[in-house]
Structure formats: structure tokens, C-alpha cells
Amino acid sequence: MEKAKRQRIMRWLNIFLLIINVSAVATIMLMSATDPELDGSAQFSSDEFLREQLNLTDEQYREISEMDAKIFRIYQNIIDMQCEAQFKLLGELSKDQPDRKYMDSLVVNIGRLQSGLKRQTIKHFTNIRSVVDDEQEMLLDQLLIDMMQMNKQCQFCNKTDCDRRNQLSKERK
């Protein structure tokens, strides 16, 4: 009985860590720095990508870069803290007698950090929206949909092969 419970916990933990890792990879792809040392002047290739895709003017690009400098530093700090918490969780799980309360507190902390990452992402795109014109905003919306492949996923469950998607789409019409 205990073995089945432990396997179920491990399965959910693996799913959770997979989601975190996918989020981290997406973040790295979006924010890979041209300078490996993150400082206040770091330029991110995602900004260059957005500059090209949205046809940003030099003034728009400068404004976005200035607003996002703090966001990207905070983002990197959160990722570092999240990584540390995940290693602590894995360390505790590998013990013969893992402390459930401690693991629960780590999971809560990881959840808060994940929320912090999402808030920083929201600030980043809010900054972009505050600078672009209507046409550029439409381009940004389409770019986000394409990057997240949202047009291929069910808007209700985020699965690409969802039996309910067609049913729910018909019900909404």
C-alpha cells in the first residue's frame, strides 16, 4: 500500500517537474541573453526577435528594453530560487523517511515562484503592449498564439487531441 502511494506521489512530482522544465526551456528560448553575465545592460535576443517581428522603431525598442531590464533580472532570480527549491524537494524525496510537511512547504514555495514567473511574463507583455500601435499589437497577439501553438490546443484543457474540443466548440455556436 505504501509503495503504491509513493509511486503515485512520484508520478505527480514527475509531471509537475516536467511542466516546470518545459516552462524553463520556453523561458530560456524567449530570454536567452547575448551576454552570459546578466547585468543591468544585458540585451536579450527575444527583444531583437520582437523588434524584427513587430517592426518596432528604435524609440519603441529602447522603451521596452528599459522597462524590461528589471523584469528580466527578477525573472532570473526567481528561476534560480525555483531551481534551488526543486533540488531541495528531490533531496528530501530521496531520503528513506522524507518529511512530508517540509516537502509540502517546498511545493507551496515552488508554486509561489511559478506564480511570480507568470506575473513577470505578464508585466513584460504589458510593457510591450503599452508601447506598440494597434497593428503591432495584432502582430504580437498572433505571434504569441503561434509561439504557444494555442491554435492547435483546446482552449479548455490545453491538449492537442481533445475529444471535447469539437463538442464544446459546437455548444458555443
How does pLDDT run across 131-161, given as a tens digit for each residue? 999 999 998 888 877 776 655 656 556 566 6
Residue 65 has pLDDT above 60, yes or no: yes
Residue 8: predicted pLDDT: 74
Residue 93: predicted pLDDT: 87
User: Could you tell me which residue, 39 or 117, shows the higher pLDDT?
Assistant: 117
Residue 102 has pLDDT above 90, yes or no: yes
Residue 173 has pLDDT above 80, yes or no: no
Q: DSSP labels for the chain?
A: -HHHHHHHHHHHHHHHHHHHHHHHHHHHHHH-BSSSS--TT--BHHHHHHHHHHT--HHHHHHHHHHHHHHHHHHHHHHHHHHHHHHHHHHHHTSSS--HHHHHHHHHHHHHHHHHHHHHHHHHHHHHHHHS-HHHHHHHHHHHHHHHTGGGS-TTT--SS-HHHHHHHHHH-
User: Could you tell me which residue, 120 or 16, shows the higher pLDDT?
Assistant: 120
Residue 163: predicted pLDDT: 63
